[in-house]
Structure 1
Amino acid sequence: MKLTPVGIDIAKSVFQVHYVDQETGEIVNKPIKRAKFLEYFANRAPCLIGMEACGGSHHWARQLTNMGHEVKLMPAKFVKAFNIRNKNDAADARAIWMAVQQPGKPVAVKTEIQQAMLALHRMRQQLIKFRTMQINNLRGLLMEYGEIMSKGRNKLNKEIPIVLERIAERLPAVLIDTFREQWNGLAKLDEQVAEIERRMREWKKEDKAVKAVSEICGVGLLTATAAVSMMGDPKAFSSGREFAAWVGIVPKQTGSGGKVTLHGISKRGDTYLRTLLIHGARSAIENAKEPSEWVEQMMKRRPKNVVVVALANKMARTIWAVLAHDRPYQKAYVSVKPA
């Protein structure tokens, strides 16, 4: 049975729906209020529904899937190619309707548990961003009074009480008190970050997939929880190579006339997960007591940063293999292709 393609441009209050009625051939492009959205699809025959992977899309995808519809979430860049002329809700819904009928890699629909873990990661990143901004702000303001702080958080904590006492002799007390408040605020941000990480560790103890992935060399708490949550369903990727390409740690290819040129990594996909994998790979290389033979051979013929990215690529493939095949990580495992 061929499913009717439907393009939906989701928004906060009004959703735009575009499809062609198979019985009458009528082109339907109509707005639907959020309260009536699920009711509109509740009694319809199963459809192939396309939506952009954006805020709220995973929630609506889960709801529509429970009704028996097939939902395909697509990256906004993929949909943009089908948007002709002016951009508005009706045109966007039509572009999504066209895009959902094309072959392409959909975004795996995440569960609520996976989204909950990602929410912890996003809040942790926001707190770290606030902390960095506050430190840079303190450094910049103190520099206005001739006080140059050393690099590093530990050195800042040692020097700032002495600096504040020194400049208190010539500056108003209200300013010094404000400096101290801002400095004390860093400790509160540290506590909030530590508390989120503690909750992640508790989560790790209960999540079988996160525990399995954490056994891989170079994969720590943050990388394991982020990889499991962002991947969604591992079966959505046909291989570890496809997952690594989705993360963006494979060479970018350009070519014409049969000649293919490889460049640096594509940097597609989620920057946060790619950063964690690369930092984990760098830590594994620098802190390993006995580096693997593969790493040693690579280090002899390639620059260190290239080896780091190559190891991150290997880690991504291993993560996919552990999750997709539901087997524990084996350090000495050798993949054997069937004859």
Structure 2
Amino acid sequence: MRGRRRSNASLLPDQVHWVDADTGEIVNKQLKRAVFLEHFANREPCLIGMEACGGAQHWARRLIEMGHQVKLMPAKFVKAFVIGNKNDPADARAIWMATQMPSKAVAVKTESQQAVLALHRLRQQKIKMRTMQMNSLRGLLSEYGEVMAKSRGALDKAIPGVLARLAERLPAMLIESLRDLWNDLDRLDKQIAEIERRLQTWMKEDKACKAIAAIPGVGLLTATATVASMGDAKAFKSGREFAAWLGLVPKQTGTGGKVQLLGISRRGDTYVRTLLIHGARSVLFHAKHAGTWAEQMQKRRPANVVTVALANKMARTIWAILAHDRPYKQDHVSTRPT
């Protein structure tokens, strides 16, 4: 390693691969989970590469507390360096190799930030369960000739009459089961609303969330998810790098000096990117004045292209506010430093 004398280690929960800084010896051995932290507590501060998988955030925080530098690598990036058969020693070696490459690491999050992301994951799970139950209810009713529109409002409006008609010719045990399935939708609605209330409470207490919530198109979900996902805003060199990390920039392909730009790369955090695009779409369709820049682009570009472009601009604005600790100003004009 350059600079201070360090060793470089990469690890799985039970496998460690490193190169000794003094002798150049390559070591790849197993470690029991019980002595994992003890092993690194007795070593000088070093760079530790880990695959961003379940539990990696916890181990990264503990290792940072010991004075080590931790680099979390995306699993997709590590996979490219697996040579031969896939096993623990090969995976640990692949992580070590991936750590040497210049790439954007996954941010190590605080426990508070990870708690917010956990609430977002729970909310998404509840929404998925609610959609699944609605489709299941419609599918069961369609077997008896009862068909209704797909919206939730249409379902709630039609279901009492549907169950009353079916009760005349179907067993009571089925009717009660269908009614329970319908009532479960209200229970899931309340659980989703409660999660959103908790996120709202955290947003009111967090300075960064309140600052970016002033941006048009950035609401409760976008503000809390973005702040929790990006970690330290200063880890990104610019707003352009942050937008690229979210996959809001074009893919490139080319050779011989000729570069062709394709659609957006869709790399990075899918959830945050989706929220930003939905927010941009709401600004374009519902705001009275989307801004001169957006209005001019709408005249010459397709709607989806304008939406993604505005989402890219929102991501850059979010980075600028958080990295420079400034409030949002609608009429702000950025200038290059002289």
- Residue 19 of structure 1 contacts residue 27 of structure 1 at CA under 8 Å; is this kept in 2? yes
Post-superposition Cα deviations, 1:91-114, rounded to whole Å, max 9, x if no partner, equal 111111122122221112111110
- Residue 78 of structure 2 contacts residue 94 of structure 2 at CA under 8 Å; is this kept in 1? yes
SS at match of 2:31: strand
In the alignment, structure 1 residue 126 sits paired with structure 2 residue 129: no
TM-fit CA distance, 1:23: 3.4
Q: Match of 1:54?
A: 53
1:188-203 aligned at under 5 Å gives the runs: 188-203=187-202
TM-fit CA distance, 1:160: 0.5
TM-fit CA distance, 1:26: 3.0
TM-fit CA distance, 1:141: 0.7
Q: Match of 2:299?
A: 300
SS at match of 1:301: coil
**Equivalent of 1:2 in 5, 12, 24:** 5
1:127-276 aligned at under 5 Å gives the runs: 127-276=126-275
In the alignment, structure 1 residue 20 sits paired with structure 2 residue 19: yes
Post-superposition Cα deviations, 1:96-153, rounded to whole Å, max 9, x if no partner, equal 1122122221112111110000000000000000000000000111111111111210
SS at match of 1:294: helix
Post-superposition Cα deviations, 1:247-271, rounded to whole Å, max 9, x if no partner, equal 1111111111111111111111111
Runs of at least 5 residues in structure 2 that lack an aligned partner in the other structure: none
- Residue 8 of structure 2 contacts residue 20 of structure 2 at CA under 8 Å; is this kept in 1? no
TM-fit CA distance, 1:21: 2.3
Question: What amino acid does structure 2 have at the position aligned with 1:60?
Answer: W
What is the alpha-carbon distance in structure 2 between the residues aligned to residue 43 and residue 298 of structure 1? 59
- Residue 51 of structure 1 contacts residue 57 of structure 1 at CA under 8 Å; is this kept in 2? yes
In the alignment, structure 1 residue 313 sits paired with structure 2 residue 316: no
Which is further off, 249-258 or 222-231?
249-258
- Residue 51 of structure 1 contacts residue 74 of structure 1 at CA under 8 Å; is this kept in 2? yes
Post-superposition Cα deviations, 1:65-112, rounded to whole Å, max 9, x if no partner, equal 111111111111221121101111111111111221222211121111
Post-superposition Cα deviations, 1:255-288, rounded to whole Å, max 9, x if no partner, equal 1111111111111111111111111111111111
SS at match of 1:50: strand
What is the alpha-carbon distance in structure 1 between the residues aligned to residue 310 and residue 24 of structure 2? 53
Runs of at least 5 residues in structure 1 that lack an aligned partner in the other structure: none
Question: What amino acid does structure 2 have at the position aligned with 1:37?
Answer: F
TM-fit CA distance, 1:171: 0.8
- Residue 9 of structure 2 contacts residue 47 of structure 2 at CA under 8 Å; is this kept in 1? yes
TM-score by length of 2: 0.97
Which is further off, 305-314 or 178-187?
305-314
TM-fit CA distance, 1:24: 3.9
In the alignment, structure 1 residue 109 sits paired with structure 2 residue 108: yes
Q: Match of 1:69?
A: 68
- Residue 72 of structure 1 contacts residue 106 of structure 1 at CA under 8 Å; is this kept in 2? yes
Give the superposed CA RMSD: 1.0
What is the alpha-carbon distance in structure 1 between the residues aligned to residue 306 and residue 196 of structure 2? 29
- Residue 5 of structure 1 contacts residue 101 of structure 1 at CA under 8 Å; is this kept in 2? no
- In the TM superposition, structure 1's runs of 4+ consecutive aligned residues that sit over 6 Å from their partners are none
Post-superposition Cα deviations, 1:11-32, rounded to whole Å, max 9, x if no partner, equal xxxx200112233443211111
1:75-86 aligned at under 5 Å gives the runs: 75-86=74-85
Question: What amino acid does structure 2 have at the position aligned with 1:7?
Answer: S
| Matched pairs, number | 335
What is the alpha-carbon distance in structure 1 between the residues aligned to residue 134 and residue 258 of structure 2? 50
SS at match of 2:70: strand
- Residue 6 of structure 2 contacts residue 21 of structure 2 at CA under 8 Å; is this kept in 1? no
Post-superposition Cα deviations, 1:20-64, rounded to whole Å, max 9, x if no partner, equal 223344321111111111100102111110001111111111111
